[in-house]
Amino acid sequence: MMSTVIFKLTSGFHINLGSAAITKIFEGEPDHLIPSVSDELLDNNMFTVAGRMIGHSFLHCGPSFPGLSPAIIHNLFEGSLETTPVTIQDCPDLDIRDAVKMLDGDTELKELDSIHQLCLSWKLPAPNATNRKWLSKKLLLHAVVKRTRCQVNQFRRGLKETGLWPLLIHRGDVIPILFPRESEAQITPQMIFDCIIWPSSVTVIFESYKVKDNAECDVTDVSRVSGYLKTFIENASPAELKSLIKFWTGWEVPATEMKVEIVEAMLPTALTCFEKLRLPRHYAAYKTFHQDLSACISTSHSGFGCA
């Protein structure tokens, strides 16, 4: 459930607001996500809900919420406006980005009417050669921080309702764990290898799931299929590794011990409650193994860890 919660927060909800099939609570580039400025989301307290989701996922050792803008994190924990680390990448609106870049540059100002209208709507002075640099910073700060102030207040309220807030206030080192950078949230092959308990070379569990102590298993079957899994992990993309872990354990957080078993079966399966990945022994070519495992882990967002 927690895995699905964080996945929905990052990918969007099927909420019909009349403009798109998918409605995102947070928008923008990776590591520069900011709350959506949608009035409908604000009126329906969706940012309070988002705060609760992230807080409860953290409390239950679930996935963190990666990619939130440092400027929003700074504002969330009531940092001063003057020291907000806002950058152009934090602005998801490309038209506003273009206006900020034009004002911040040294080229001749163009499309002054549209920039002027934008400044007037945010109660800022009209642009000119003297104030253009100052105005570019004000526009960017307004677009990223001031427009999202109500959303951030709701978001903070949601976190507080989970009881997590005192920990975050008194232990600043927890904040990067709750809101990691996108790169820090990536799963690496070595992270998985460090957790795997590889199968015994003399024991096979058959599809009936009864252990055959004296099973006539060719040791090369276990070695070959285990080698295929190692190759898959070494060459998989971060997204594929995340899907593999979710298929294996039920969410994208690697378990301390993730077991591999070689079985008599048609396709890879998993017992997520026991963190067991069961791989058929019949694979004689890596290509077939890769195709089947890729197909199975692609169901991780709709199934419960089973092919």
Q: Could you report the per-residue pLDDT of 96-154, keeping only the tens digit for each?
A: 999 999 888 887 777 778 888 889 999 999 888 889 899 999 999 999 999 999 999 99
**CATH code of the domain containing 221:** 3.30.2410.10
- Shared domain for 33 and 123, answered yes or no, is no
Distance CA 307, CA 305 (A): 7
User: What is Dmax (Cα atoms) for the chain?
Assistant: 86
Are the CB atoms for 159 and 168 separated by under 8 Å? yes
Q: Domain for residue 303, yes or no? A: no
Q: Domain for residue 305, yes or no? A: no
Q: Domain for residue 183, yes or no? A: no
- Shared domain for 172 and 233, answered yes or no, is no
- Shared domain for 152 and 287, answered yes or no, is no
pLDDT the model gives residue 253: 77
- The pTM of this model reads 0.70
Q: Domain for residue 28, yes or no? A: yes
- Shared domain for 168 and 270, answered yes or no, is no
- Shared domain for 234 and 160, answered yes or no, is no
Pairing, β 204-206 against β 258-264: parallel
Q: Which helix (H) or strand (E) holds 175?
A: helix 175-178
- Shared domain for 198 and 68, answered yes or no, is no
Q: With cut-offs at 50, 70 and 90, classify the pLDDT of residue 19.
A: low
> What are the backbone angles phi and psi of residue 13, rounded to the nearest 5°?
-110, 155
Q: Which of 93-97, 111-115, 199-203, 281-285 has the lowest mean pLDDT?
A: 199-203
- Shared domain for 155 and 201, answered yes or no, is no
pLDDT the model gives residue 75: 94
Q: Domain for residue 143, yes or no? A: no
CA within 13 Å, CB half, 4: 10
Q: Which of 24-38, 82-96, 173-187, 223-237 has the lowest mean pLDDT?
A: 173-187
- Shared domain for 32 and 112, answered yes or no, is no
Residue 57 belongs to what domain range? 2-84+148-178
Q: Domain for residue 213, yes or no? A: yes
Return the bridge partners of 270, or none. 277
Domain count for the chain: 3
- Shared domain for 236 and 284, answered yes or no, is yes
